[in-house]
Amino acid sequence: MLNRLYYILLLLCVFCASCDFKLKANDDDDDPSAMKVERYDRLESRYVITGDFSALQQMNTEYPIETRTLVEKMLRIGDVSDHDISERFLRFYQDSTLQTLVSDVELEYANMEDINDGLRKSFTKLRKWIPKIPLPRIYTQIGALDQSVVVGDQMIGISLDKYMGAKYPIYKKFSYSKEQLETMNRSYIVPDCVSFYLLSIYPLKNHDSRTQLEKDLHMGKIMWVANKALGSEVFDTDYVRIISRYMKKHPDISVQQLLESDDYRDIQ
């Protein structure tokens, strides 16, 4: 799990540097109880399965940033401005494995109200502890079995193809470790969204010059807060337990203070 978070931290640097993320106007943007995943994956599925050009038009007009991220950063099949990018995108998904994956994802995630409910509850708690934390826009997509979650400036993209369950037959074709497979299921979507988003808001300063212990403790801190927001001990590592013991000894330290602190000398 620590390796996954390190990887996401690297991705954050790439996405934030290369994309100019903007939020869509929404009256409910600042209300965690109204959070709801946007189903970009359904437009994507409609286009790659049926070739419905109106779906592609919606992807480009209503979700230009999401489409650019998918095409250029995840699939890496070209630039969204390329004259033949729509045909290239469609051809990419004509692979039989990807066609099966797209269909299976749409069946598995026909309903995501449990995910919406988990996100609302978690971000309601985070907003209580950190009143000024910005709420992200969260959307779903179907990648090519690469990244599970991509995070940008107040945006989270969930790749549903990476959450089909440890026993999903297509996963057997790839060299996923047992540890990876254990996290590739529906129950990890909300935990991943919360932890990766917290990491984007509270990255470790001067990451490259910090000791490995400081890096591990920082990840432990992110995971500990995520557990509290989730109301469940999803993340269980030695460093999460260190943070837990530290917070029990220092009940006067708030969640916000913990996240904002960059000093790990007293945390052992």
User: What is the sign of the dihedral through the CA atoms of 212, 8, 21 and 18?
Assistant: positive
Mean pLDDT in the chain?
A: 90
Ranges 21-25, 99-103, 248-252: which has the least confidence: 21-25
Kindly state the percentage of the chain with pLDDT values over 90. 83
Using the predicted structure, report yes or no on whether residue 226 has a pLDDT greater than 80: yes
pLDDT tens-digit series, residues 111-122: 999 999 999 999
The average pLDDT across 232-247 equals: 96
Give the type of residue at 163: Y
The Cα 195–Cα 237 span in angstroms is 14
Q: How would residue 267 be classed by pLDDT, with cut points 50, 70 and 90?
A: confident
Q: How would residue 1 be classed by pLDDT, with cut points 50, 70 and 90?
A: low
pLDDT at residue number 30:
87
CA distances from 49 to 98, 110, 117, 137 (A): 10, 16, 29, 26
Secondary structure class of 248 (helix, strand, coil):
helix
pLDDT tens-digit series, residues 125-141: 999 999 999 999 999 99
Using the predicted structure, report yes or no on whether residue 3 has a pLDDT greater than 80: no
Q: How would residue 13 be classed by pLDDT, with cut points 50, 70 and 90?
A: very low
Helical (H) or strand (E) element with 236: none
The average pLDDT across 85-108 equals: 95
Secondary structure class of 141 (helix, strand, coil):
strand
pLDDT at residue number 28:
60
Residue 56's Cβ-count burial label (10 Å; 0-12, 13-18, 19+) is: buried
Ranges 6-20, 25-39, 154-168: which has the least confidence: 6-20
The average pLDDT across 198-213 equals: 93
pLDDT tens-digit series, residues 19-73: 433 334 344 678 999 999 999 999 999 999 999 999 999 999 999 999 999 999 9
Using the predicted structure, report yes or no on whether residue 107 has a pLDDT greater than 50: yes
pLDDT at residue number 4:
57
Tell me the whole-structure pTM to 2 decimals: 0.88
pLDDT at residue number 153:
78
CA distances from 97 to 33, 72, 92, 170, 174 (A): 37, 21, 11, 8, 12
pLDDT at residue number 265:
87
The average pLDDT across 242-254 equals: 96
Written as one string, the DSSP assignment of 87-107 is HHHHHHTTSHHHHHHHHHHHH
CB contact at 8 A, 56 and 86? yes
Closest CA to 95 of 142, 40, 163: 142
pLDDT at residue number 29:
72
